[in-house]
Structure 1
Amino acid sequence: MANRVETELTDELLPLLKQEQYVTIATVDHETGAPNVNAISWVYAPNTKSVRFSIDNRSRIVENIKKQSLVTLTLIGAGSTYSITGNARILLEKMEEVPLKLALIEITVKEVRDVMFYGSRITTGPKYEKTYDKEAADKLDRQVMSAMKK
């Protein structure tokens, strides 16, 4: 159903964001002021009002959020496409429990909008696979997701 607007994550979306998930994040570029879109997968929603994500702490996303905290996540799932907008803040510049230099960022959800075009439904969500050592990827994923849940 297009044009549905909520002020928090719905019962349909919350379980999707309790696990690693393909989403995009849009920020305002700190140098140009233009939109900046990136794909991320380490996301976790501890409740209906916030979403955490982890990224390399040298990422342009970090600098963008420091200058302008308003961000939008795009999630494809639960039969539709959703825009999740809110203010982001950096909780940790470096997550100590993880071997990589990852930042932990939390978004306070302000608006969840169903942005799917009229008369359509998503029948299958985006799928991806890690192209490096599967065992190492699985271990890192577990470490990051565990650290985000603290």
Structure 2
Amino acid sequence: MANAVESTLNDELLYALREERIITVATIDFEKASPNVSAISWVYAMDMATVRFAVDQRSRIVENIRHNPSIVLNIMANESVYSVAGSTRIITDRMEGVPLKLALLEVHIDEVRDVMFYGSKLSTEPKYEKTYDLRAATKLDNQVLTAIKQI
């Protein structure tokens, strides 16, 4: 039986995308016209229909979006895996108040699908560790998330 396709995030995904987590981003490569997948962590759901994320302004994601705004965010949360598809716009090529040269992108959600294979659930969500100064990482994360929410 096929899973329902929703046009916005549900409450659980909204909250999940307001917590620190790793997600993957799929764009269409501007040179090869094939899928390109990257992992990101500076992501925040503004509301049920909008997700913002920050990446290095030299990221392949940014150039791909310049050529084709289609995107899929892959999120592992709430014991399942979700595909969030939409159209992306670049809000700014250089975020203010952040020491790194980061671009801010915004996804308008078109559809949300639960894509976990039948008869299973995630027993553990992916975790990651920062491999540099934890205090500096926490400070940077706070600066980036504050900037994402303010613009």
The TM-score, its normalising length taken from structure 2, stands at 0.97
User: Contact 1:95 / 1:104 at 8 angstroms: preserved in 2?
Assistant: yes
Residue pairs, 1:45-56, within 5 angstroms: 45-56=45-56
Q: Structure 2 regions of 5+ residues with no counterpart?
A: none
User: Contact 1:9 / 1:48 at 8 angstroms: preserved in 2?
Assistant: yes
Q: Is the aligned partner of 1:7 residue 2:7?
A: yes
Please name the residue that 2:129 is paired with.
Answer: 129
Please name the residue that 1:42 is paired with.
Answer: 42
How much identity, in percent, do the aligned residues show?
56
**Displacement of 1:2:** 6.5
Q: 1:57 to 1:51 in 2, by over 3 A?
A: same
Q: Is the aligned partner of 1:89 residue 2:86?
A: no
| Cα distance per residue 1:55-108 (max 9 Å; x no partner) | 000111100000000000000011100000000000010001100000000000
**Distance (whole Å) between structure 2 residues aligned to residue 2 and residue 51 of structure 1:** 25
Q: Is the aligned partner of 1:77 residue 2:77?
A: yes
| Count, aligned residues | 150
The TM-score, its normalising length taken from structure 1, stands at 0.97
Please name the residue that 2:118 is paired with.
Answer: 118
Please name the residue that 2:27 is paired with.
Answer: 27
| Cα distance per residue 1:126-148 (max 9 Å; x no partner) | 00010011111000000000100
Please name the residue that 2:103 is paired with.
Answer: 103
Letter matched to residue 132 of structure 1: Y
Question: Which secondary structure does the structure 2 equivalent of 1:128 belong to?
Answer: coil
**Distance (whole Å) between structure 1 residues aligned to residue 101 and residue 144 of structure 2:** 11
